[in-house]
Structure 1
Amino acid sequence: MVDKIQYRQTSMICECKSITKYNKGGKKEMGKTAVIFPGQGAQYVGMAKDFYDSFEDSKKVFDEADDVLDIELKKICFEENDDINKTEYTQPAMVAAEVAIYEHLKNAGLKADVFAGLSLGEYSALVAAGAMTLADGIKTVRRRGILMQNEVPLGMGGMAAVIAMDADKIAEICENTPGKVQIANYNCPGQIVISGEAEAVKAASAALAEAGAKRVIPLNVSGPFHSQMLVPAGEKLYDFLQGVDVAEGFAPYYCNADAEEITDAAKVKELLKRQVYSSVRWQQTIENMIADGVDTFIEVGPGKTLTGFMKKINREVKSINIATVDDLAKLEELNA
């Protein structure tokens, strides 16, 4: 639920109250609020800088993240540089930015019922849910980024976005394409991403276009993320995760690999291993969350990618994005 979120901005205090809905028997019940975090690709120079400059709780997140790693995430996030788009730096930078924003929202009174994140964003969700410490989350995604970037030589893998084609048809064409290619992301109706060997992705893209896809867009990425080519990277990450503590009693989060609600700490490491090379079932995740009573979604982090997906998945639920301090005013929309 959302309960008395208060913040100061240009001498204004906004209070967001709980959303009320009714079940089939007419009994009043509270709708659930989910905080969701975007993944790699949403990053930009300057992300979360205004939160860092404005709020001590956000500043502390960046300061701790810098202390944990041997790199300066604040410079990567805030100053013009090339590293922000390199996977091994992008991933910890994104988690730092997302958790920094969320930490302020939480301290200002945001009470989320459940969490989820797209791909890399799943780690921000784990930190926000209390399953991982910020230090462990940052260290893990740094290792994850290095493993994913180095597993497949540059140019050997690829990805492409497929626009306006049925997911089953895309899966069928991928299965019938020579080489390794598969669905990497079920983002929303009409937007699927495929991933795999560069030549197989190219061949599948041509077949998809011929079969009626509105557009097939090659993506500028450094590897074939969420494909079977990264199974070894997933196994190496699983080994690393054996030294990471996953706390019991964390708030529920929804995993990418199965799109299911997770509350059992014993399942987390296996799911994170599989996430590296399995399809990200984002559309199914959102649909399951709605079926479980979530009617308010707050995207926390750079950009508004997930809010855009939400409009294509289900327009009946409430959805806002918080990427900048100015976006805090959007919390008023939750009362509308």
Structure 2
Amino acid sequence: MKAYVFPGQGAQFVGMGKELYETSSLAKELFEKANEIIGFRITDVMFSGTDEDLKQTKVTQPAIFLHSVILAKTLGDSFQPDMVAGHSLGEFSALVANGALNFEDAFKLVIARANAMQKACELQPSTMAAILGLEDQVVEDVCASIDEVVVAANYNCPGQLVISGSIDGVNKACEKLKEAGAKRALVLNVGGAFHSPLMEPARVELEAAINATPFNEPVCAVYQNVNAKPTSDPETIKQNLIAQLTGAVRWTQTVQAMLADGATSFTEVGPGNVLQGLVKKVSKEVETVSAAI
């Protein structure tokens, strides 16, 4: 069974999507439609902007979504997913790939999500940190012992977990986690505390947008971040998508569930190859390929 996976924030690079735009008339048409919807030439930032321009959440998320979804659409008949999943933002790309959302509606939701998250970041200074070399339970216990907002946010692969919260909370947790034997506890250069309770204002804003958007019956199941379980029910998909903003990305568990359900290959669709690496950390045997251009 073919699993298709879609990357999230952090996979962006200057030049992403340029070759697609130049070699596919369908891609060019969709990129131009996206420029109209977003109200500025996001393609200019993607193809020839600076790293700083591309790093802004309100640009990064729509850019990665566009690269992933438009690439999937140019694959034609060879694109036949048996199951899909996306890492954080990538879940929106996955939902276009399996037909639960159409391109325009999903792009508008991604723009709304990015803007809501940027606003939430500006409300309270906050951050995230990568923790390497500890069991998940140890990280969870340390976070729970701190009297600030700090939670396990991204279960990326065994031994690699990202925590998220207030600056004070994350710094305190990093100190304690180093004492507990972490190989590394590295504060990340991100805009804020994604996938933590500090994203509650963004969740409320996005909930209204998601509830106003039509969702369809998909062609295959999506394995969603919040519970790593497959679903094809549009209502469940919506609720999980809303919960995702303040909930953890359970990527390790998602890959494990897809493997248990018969995935024989994972194709990463979008910029970079981060997800292929994470899949290999869960299972060295499974085939991983990239559809990236």
Give the TM-score normalised by structure 2: 0.96
Following the alignment from structure 1 to structure 2, what is the Cα–Cα distance between the partners of residues 78 and 116? 26
Matched with 1:100 is 70
Q: Tell me whether 1:187 sits opposite 2:171 in the alignment.
A: no
Q: Give the gaps of 5 or more residues in structure 2.
A: none
- Equivalence for 2:57: 87
Is 1:109 paired with 2:115? Answer: no
Q: Which residue of 2 aligns with 1:19?
A: none
1:83 Cα deviation after fit: 2.6
Secondary structure, aligned partner of 1:153: helix
Structure 1 position 60, deviation (Å)? 2.4
2:204 alignment partner, one of 197, 212, 235: 235
In structure 1, distance between residues paired with 2:218 and 2:86: 19
Task: Please state which structure has a larger fraction of its residues in helix.
Answer: 2
Instruction: Look up the equivalent residue of 1:199 and give its one-letter code.
Output: D
Q: Aligned partners of 1:60, 1:262: CA distance in 2, in Å?
A: 31
1:248 Cα offset (Å): 2.2
What do you get for the CA RMSD once the two structures are aligned? 1.3
CA distance in 1, matches of 2:287, 2:200: 37
Deviation digits for residues 104-160 of structure 1, max 9, x if unmatched?
Answer: 11x152211111100000000001111111111111111101111111337721100
- Establish whether residue 252 from structure 1 lines up as the match of residue 216 from structure 2: no
Confirm or deny that 1:40 pairs with 2:9. yes
Instruction: Report how many residues are paired.
Output: 292
Counterpart contact for 1:123–1:141, Cα < 8 Å: yes
* Amino acid across the alignment from 2:247: S
Runs (4 or more) in structure 1 with deviation over 6 Å come to none
Question: Max radius of gyration: which structure?
Answer: 1
Q: Which residue of 2 aligns with 1:217?
A: 186
Deviates more, 1:78-87 or 1:304-313: 78-87
CA distance in 1: counterparts of 2:158 and 2:251, whole angstroms:
11
Partner of residue 158 from structure 1, selected from 116, 120, 127: 127
Distance in structure 2 (CA, Å) of the matches to 1:237 and 1:154: 16
After TM superposition, list the pairs within 5 Å mapping 1:1-336 onto structure 2: 32-81=1-50, 82-105=52-75, 107-153=76-122, 156-324=125-293
What secondary structure does 2:131 align onto?
A: strand
Instruction: Provide the TM-score with structure 1 as the length reference.
Output: 0.84
More displaced stretch, 197-206 vs 145-154: 145-154
Give the match for residue 4 of structure 1. Answer: none
C-alpha separation between the residues in 2 aligned to 1:231 and 1:137? Answer: 21
Q: Which has the higher mean CA deviation after the structures are superposed, 242-251 or 179-188?
A: 242-251
Q: Distance in 1 between matches of 2:181 and 2:123?
A: 30
- Give the structure 2 partner of residue 18 of structure 1: none
Identical counterparts, % of pairs:
38
Q: Equivalent residue of 1:184, what SS?
A: strand
Q: Point out the more displaced range, 312-321 or 72-81.
A: 72-81
Distance in 2, matches of 1:146 and 1:154, equals 13
